[in-house]
Amino acid sequence: MSDTLPAAVFKAYDIRGTVPDQLNDFFAHRLGLALAALARQEGVRSLVVGHDGRLSSPGLSTALQAGLHAGGIDTIDVGLVHTPLVYFAAHEDGSGSGVAITGSHNPPDYNGFKMMMAGRTLHGADIQALRQRMAGIQPPGGIPAGQARPKDLIDTYIERIAHHIRLARPMRIAIDCGNGVGAVAAGRLYRALGCTVDERYCTVDGTFPNHHPDPADPRNLQDLIHHLRDSDCEIGLAFDGDADRLGVVTKSGQIIWPDRQMVLFARDILQRVPGASIIFDVKCSRHLGQAIREAGGVPLMSQTGHSLIKARLADTGAPLAGEMSGHLFFKERWYGFDDGLYAGARLLEILSRSADPGHVLEALPQGISTPELKLPMAEGQPHAFVARLQAEGRFPGATARITIDGIRAEYPDGFGLARASNTTPVVVLRFEGDTPAALARIQAEFRAALQALQPGLALPF
């Protein structure tokens, strides 16, 4: 078995790579030892560990926990659960510490580790520091080994949500888990809220045989759209592979992207928390910031990344944050972690007040926009390419350039964005315009800027 620690798997806000060449039992055991050392340093005595439905996840969980135990740390093994339940369990435990073993929305041969310690999500320098710990770590001597304690918290999680979220009327909904691990709780949760639930692909299967579990890609929502058209369901909810992200479609087949969802959530929350800051990432619509201001809030644009957003949420005390990818973070009435199932429940609470949920959603402001477009590159190339674009790119019609994460060029009638993904080797692009002509003009400026750096580049727009 390989004894290397490939640098490429240590991402900006989690650890993620292919199995078994990059991530394997050796890697997981050594990570457990490193996390145990960090836990002892921070006075943490136990970590919650849960895993998704990928074929490699149970083995990685066993190896990780063995490393934690060898390092003197107990584990609370919550088993096969969606990532947000690991976060929930860490809050319930009081340690604020845990590891979710998940490849999220990546292909089946990927897996990874999302980590929190003493109430903070590990990201950036924390993850690089873990890599350094792992490089030379050995089991400590003279301390008792940790023990595993299995714990089933799914019922507690569902009861907690159902206790404080009340629908104004029963609803009939369709859900699509994409064979991801959200299926262990999604149907049960929404039925507990009083919904009639049509389930699509709600059997956990780590090969994802029906469609890829990524609601940010419109192709993965087509099954749900067709089911809504052919049934009496009012609304459709979709989740990614570890169910920390939410996708929404209406009865008429319109996809309600997360930045539009956030308009609805912000308006609702700002009625109870007037003047609050609302955080969103660089991929979100210009209409979201405007809607937050109109509702009396303060819009704060942030870098993309679930760990980065959570850190910003903790720093600002904002009641709500979200990303265009579908990560939504509710601090008001909840714990502040990203949870697609919980976000779906909050959405239904609002929509149940209307006899026509589709009309409410489709009336939300929007420009003419693209989904996230992905420009594949070799591993390691996207960040270097985007750094060059920041330094050399020319956008003559732009009124502002935002460089907190890639480059976002703002125009009087739209925006364009190029940023390097921190999970896969792609450059993510997104465009919005007030009119088709504005969208085409902005895309043309970006096309020229991108191809000036690399002539002949095959662009996805």
Of residues 39, 40, 156, the one with CA closest to residue 88: 156
Do residues 71 and 140 make contact, with C-beta atoms less than 8 angstroms apart?
Answer: yes
Count Cβ atoms within 10 A of the Cβ of residue 109 and give its class: 0-12 exposed, 13-18 middle, 19 or more buried.
Answer: middle
Of residues 102, 101, 115, 113, the one with CA closest to residue 42: 115
CA distance 58 to 54: 8
First to last CA, the chain: 42
CA distance 290 to 302: 16
Of residues 369, 387, 361, the one with CA closest to residue 436: 369
H helices present in 57-174, as ranges: 57-70, 83-93, 125-136, 154-164
Q: Annotated catalytic residue: which of 46, 56, 104, 369?
A: 104
Residue 241 has what DSSP assignment?
Answer: T
Omega within 30 of 0 (cis) for the link into 20:
yes
Catalytic site includes residue 104: yes
Do residues 196 and 175 make contact, with C-beta atoms less than 8 angstroms apart?
Answer: no
Number of Cβ within 10 Å of residue 31's Cβ equals 26
Report how far apart, in Å, the C-alpha atoms of 63 and of each of 25, 50, 68, 181, 328 are: 5, 12, 9, 20, 31
Query: Tokens 């992207």 — which residue?
Result: 257
Number of Cβ within 10 Å of residue 230's Cβ equals 8
Residue 53 has what DSSP assignment?
Answer: S
What tokens appear for 154 in the block? 């799914």
Residues annotated as catalytic (active site), given as ranges: 104
